[in-house]
Structure 1
Amino acid sequence: MTMTSPTIDLTMLADPALRADPYPLLRQMREASPLPLIDGLLVVTGRHRDCSAVLRHPHASSERYRSALTAPNLEISTLSFLSLDPPDHTRLRRLVSSAFTPRVVTALRPRITEIVDSLFRRVAEQGRMDVIDDLAYPLPVQIISELLGVPAEDHERLRAWSAQLARGLDPQFTDPDPERVAVAEGARTEFNRYFSTLIAQRRTHPREDLLSLLVHAESEGDKLNEEELLATCVLLLVAGHETTTNLIANAVLALLRHPDQLDALRARPDLVDGCTEETLRYDPPVQMTTRAARGTLPVGEVEVPDGGIAVLLIAAANRDPDVFDEPDRFDITRKPGGHLAFAAGIHFCLGAGLARLESAVALDAFAQRIVAPRLLEPVEYKANINLRGPARLDVTFDAIRSL
């Protein structure tokens, strides 16, 4: 791919050496933004004002597969509502939204607390834990699985498919790997087979779960066809835990590397929501997204022509000094608001409330109950570029306090 900037190479984002800290490169990209590539058909920006404006612009389409380019595959499916515009997006999102209202999410707090307590009890006598396997992964996957109606015995079976699919969501322009794409498509196929079986079961034996609600909506003629139903199930399961796993892990890592912030959270448990918001800004679990231009789409002083693609470097925008003071500093007392970790506009993350609650409960328990936690370096990161988080996060401790 031909670059218009002689100093910035977008493919550097795929460099494994940058996995632990991509932010210096993202800063350079933000400062050079907007970057027009491929004769202006692809425009990259890391400026907060540009990203925010594009996410809300009426010419910014989520139907990337209609682009004149082969769009960077950053979403889960061309059929999921993440990759659709109104009216289809509105219809599908409306069907799912009842499971994520503030009232429903708030009612989940006791269950989330119960799961966190059980996870801590499992490792209490070991004196060490892998924050990923022992907390950050099992908590959100159990909650979203229970909401959907996925049996507990299938959680590990789905984990490998989810990781393979998440890896396939990385931008193609940074790592053109046909094998990776094939693995991701294979995982999608396995997910579809799995959910096809569950859907068939719910048609004859409905339960009190989200999957039954979606199947019932389809049966009442709400135009949710089989492909849409499958894509929605995969989206909810994968997006419902992959990003929250990274959010919790990134937050724990930031606290351990900034012990003054961990001390502040211990002293003031009311800062836990601020800790979640600061992590979303400082080290967001989703690093970038894209929009296709349906009509001319302005990106700062550059315009993406009809059919082109805008690449929005959310992680760079969240550290824009024009919006955030001392943006490279992790500060859980920072005034919340302004970050784009959950996107904006009509595609603002449907599960944001649930992710925030799961993170808050997990981080509060970690700060208040783990005695003298110590991070074991180096931290091993996932190969993912877009869905960023550690693959392992080993911590030793003196004890875990009881509830």
Structure 2
Amino acid sequence: MSSLATPENTEPTFNPFSPAFLQDPYSHYARLRGLDPVHLARFGAYVISRHADVGFVLRDRRFGKDFIERSQRHYGPEIMAETLFDHMSRTMLLSDPPQHERLRGLVVKAFTARRVEAMRPRIQQVVDDAIDAVLDVGKMDLVADFAYHPPVAIICDMLGIPEEDRKLFHACSEDSVKILESAPFTPEELATANGRVQTVRSYFERLYEQRRRCPCDDLTTQLMQSEESGSKLTNEELTASIMLLFVAGHETTINLIGNGLLALHRNPQQLALLRERPDLIGSAVDEFLRYEPSIQFTGRVALEDVWDLHEKTIPKGASVLCLLASANRDEAAYPDRPEQLDITRHGGKNLSFGGGIHFCLGAQLARLQTEIAIVTLLRRIPELRIDNTENPDWKPKFVMRGLKTLPASW
């Protein structure tokens, strides 16, 4: 038991569900790093908050993904028979070796540096089109009218999903995000989510038949044809992998663009510097990832007893929350003002894309889209100002941190 476990009638040391936490999690992280870096939270998980410790857990093979164990503990073992949970369990994001290695080996070929760089003209076109649509209006929501467009267009282009079919995936995507947030489903919500997954599976069954008859130069065809050591994706694995790419390919990048723009406008000197020096955009995106990451934590489960963390034993089967966003502001990893935004920062290694075997496949694509989006916006609308930087409208989520809206005008 953590030395900081609190009585039931007092405020817990770590409460990611409180409104104050959602508005500003970083002061809570700092307190946790100083007081109890391996903290047994009231809800039963060990919370790891320091950079070195988070990196250790992400790399150490004694920790695996906790999706099935966590889901069964919350709902009972029968939950994995539900269509939504079965669907999510087939993704590489939530699986361990050898299944993870087989799935990732088949998908990774789609994200080579050459293929990502070849997307640059299309990303630029989508960004310019989004700006053109609002330029004469004098105002927009930087989330819905701007940040949303590049990642959704690009991932759907990659997958070969026609524009008229793209809305089909948003509701199913929200269900996937809800699972990642560990938010509870009512029986009615679960039944609806199961139906959505089945609708998506049926859609892709038809698409696979089309691609078998007429292969295209798209990621869906490539994944269907991919083979690694004699292994191919089943249709269920293929659909789960595509939906994972859709969720990861748009949700996190939308948040990264929005969070980066808010961070800049909350720090006018940094905004002025980037306007003057757009060549700094690469290091600026690295700093946005460190300072206000889209993904705040990732979960693991101890596959055996682990004694290595601050003289505490994490028992086999225990859930572990790795606070990526806390690690990114750890004074030991970033001794030079980690609570400040500095787009010229060098040194340190942010953990926003995870680590170990689960390091994000789409990291380079997310960076490229964010670089193009922000540099283009600042160049084309130099008078842009965000209407409310003090109390922005954050989504009520803990895992994926992003803004509901971000009104701006010029």
TM over 0.5: yes
Mapped to 1, the partners of 2:189 and 2:282 lie a distance apart of 37
Residue equivalent to 2:248: 239
Relative to structure 1, is the Cα distance of residues 303 and 50 closer, same or farther in structure 2, using a 3 angstrom cutoff?
A: same
CA contact (8 A) 1:131 1:392 kept: yes
CA contact (8 A) 2:102 2:228 kept: no
- Name the amino acid aligned to 2:49: G
Find 2:27's aligned residue among 7, 24, 35: 24
Residue equivalent to 1:319: 329
**Which runs of structure 2 are paired with 1:153-232 in the superposition (5 Å)?**
153-172=164-183, 176=184, 178=186, 182=190, 185=194, 187-217=196-226, 222-232=231-241
Mapped to 2, the partners of 1:383 and 1:259 lie a distance apart of 27
How far is the alpha carbon of 1:285 from its aligned partner? Answer: 0.1
Residue equivalent to 2:5: 5
How far is the alpha carbon of 1:8 from its aligned partner? Answer: 6.2
The answer to whether 1:252 aligns with 2:265 is no
- Name the amino acid aligned to 2:26: Y
The answer to whether 1:367 aligns with 2:371 is no
CA contact (8 A) 1:262 1:367 kept: no
TM-score normalised by structure 2 residue count: 0.87
**Which runs of structure 2 are paired with 1:292-303 in the superposition (5 Å)?**
292-297=301-306, 298-303=308-313
Residue equivalent to 2:409: 396
CA contact (8 A) 1:379 1:390 kept: yes
Residue equivalent to 2:134: 123
Find 2:38's aligned residue among 34, 39, 44: 34
CA contact (8 A) 1:71 1:309 kept: no
- Name the amino acid aligned to 2:330: D
Mapped to 1, the partners of 2:120 and 2:41 lie a distance apart of 46
CA contact (8 A) 1:65 1:71 kept: no
Relative to structure 1, is the Cα distance of residues 317 and 326 closer, same or farther in structure 2, using a 3 angstrom cutoff?
A: same
Please give the secondary structure, in 2, of the residue aligned with 1:12: coil
RMSD of aligned C-alpha atoms?
2.8
Relative to structure 1, is the Cα distance of residues 252 and 387 closer, same or farther in structure 2, using a 3 angstrom cutoff?
A: same
After superposition, the C-alpha distances for 1:345-397 in whole angstroms (9 at most, x for unaligned) are 11110000000000110111122221211111242121221111001111001
Relative to structure 1, is the Cα distance of residues 8 and 251 closer, same or farther in structure 2, using a 3 angstrom cutoff?
A: same
Q: Which runs of 5+ in 2 are unaligned?
A: 80-84
Mapped to 1, the partners of 2:199 and 2:405 lie a distance apart of 25
The answer to whether 1:264 aligns with 2:279 is no
- Name the amino acid aligned to 2:331: P
Moved more, 158-167 or 347-356: 158-167
Find 1:57's aligned residue among 36, 57, 60: 60
How far is the alpha carbon of 1:120 from its aligned partner? Answer: 0.8
Relative to structure 1, is the Cα distance of residues 191 and 381 closer, same or farther in structure 2, using a 3 angstrom cutoff?
A: farther
Count of residues in Structure 1 that have an aligned counterpart in Structure 2: 392
**Which runs of structure 2 are paired with 1:270-309 in the superposition (5 Å)?**
270-297=279-306, 298-309=308-319
- Name the amino acid aligned to 1:250: N
CA contact (8 A) 1:132 1:245 kept: yes
Runs (4+) off by over 6 Å: none
Relative to structure 1, is the Cα distance of residues 111 and 10 closer, same or farther in structure 2, using a 3 angstrom cutoff?
A: farther
The answer to whether 1:340 aligns with 2:351 is yes
How far is the alpha carbon of 1:180 from its aligned partner? Answer: 9.4
Moved more, 370-379 or 352-361: 370-379
Mapped to 2, the partners of 1:51 and 1:78 lie a distance apart of 24
CA contact (8 A) 2:378 2:384 kept: no
The answer to whether 1:91 aligns with 2:102 is yes
Moved more, 375-384 or 127-136: 375-384
- Name the amino acid aligned to 1:368: R
How far is the alpha carbon of 1:42 from its aligned partner? Answer: 2.9
Please give the secondary structure, in 2, of the residue aligned with 1:395: strand
